[in-house]
Amino acid sequence: MVNGDYGGFWRRAMAFSIDKIILFFTSLFILFIGMLALSMGFLTHYREMLPERFEQMTITFVFIYLLMTVFISMFYFTYFHGAAGQTPGKMIFGLKVVQSTGEQMTFGLAFLRWVGYIISATVFYMGFVWIAFDAKKQGWHDKIAATVVIRVRNIVDGPAYTPDEKGLDKEGDFL
């Protein structure tokens, strides 16, 4: 079991906002590249471009773009949580995702947690709001994947005690 400080609602919200900003600019870049490629296709075939063909290409582009943004979000959160237990936003605010037992995250649990994000957001983001009222500060996605978010050393609060290689302090608690 984890006996440490859990990451609170506002700290987690700020970390998530940073991650969403990173994903926003990534998808904006992909949108720009896609629109550039789409316009080059229109310029190349402008004489044979019928309104029906234009509409079909645009709908296909939007569908592929939306699929790409979902895939990038899935990859981003699954990779960072599975590899280090921290996304860039969580690194900045000194948060780390671990299993409820205290073990490190796996890629399978990170993917399950990402699926939980979808469920948490479905009903008016209540799965995220739940963090503010839960004793362990777990959202629905945390409960689904059996994870907790703990506080660790961070950039915002400055230097803190450096944990040993297992991430435990001298008393055996997570930082």
Structure confidence at residue 166 (pLDDT):
54
Domain span holding position 21? 9-151
Mean pLDDT of 14-37: 96
In a domain, 166, yes or no: no
Structure confidence at residue 77 (pLDDT):
98
User: Is 162 a residue whose pLDDT tops 50?
Assistant: no
In a domain, 173, yes or no: no
User: Is 157 a residue whose pLDDT tops 70?
Assistant: no
Quote the mean pLDDT of the chain.
87
Between 164 and 135, the higher pLDDT residue = 135
Number of domains in the chain: 1
Residue 124 CB coordination number (10 Å): 8
- pTM equals 0.83
pLDDT, one tens digit per residue, over 68-125 is: 999 999 999 999 999 999 999 999 999 999 999 999 999 999 999 999 999 999 999 9
Mean pLDDT of 49-64: 82
pLDDT, one tens digit per residue, over 112-125 is: 999 999 999 999 99
In a domain, 31, yes or no: yes
Residue-wise DSSP of the chain: ---SPBPPHHHHHHHHHHHHHHHHHHHHHHHHHHHHHHHHHHHHTSTT--HHHHHHHHHHHHHHHHHHHHHHHHHHHHHHHHHTS--HHHHHTTEEEEETTSPPP-HHHHHHHHHHHHHHHHTTTHHHHGGGT-TT---HHHHHHTEEEEE---SSS---PPP-TTSB-TTS-B-
In a domain, 123, yes or no: yes
In a domain, 158, yes or no: no
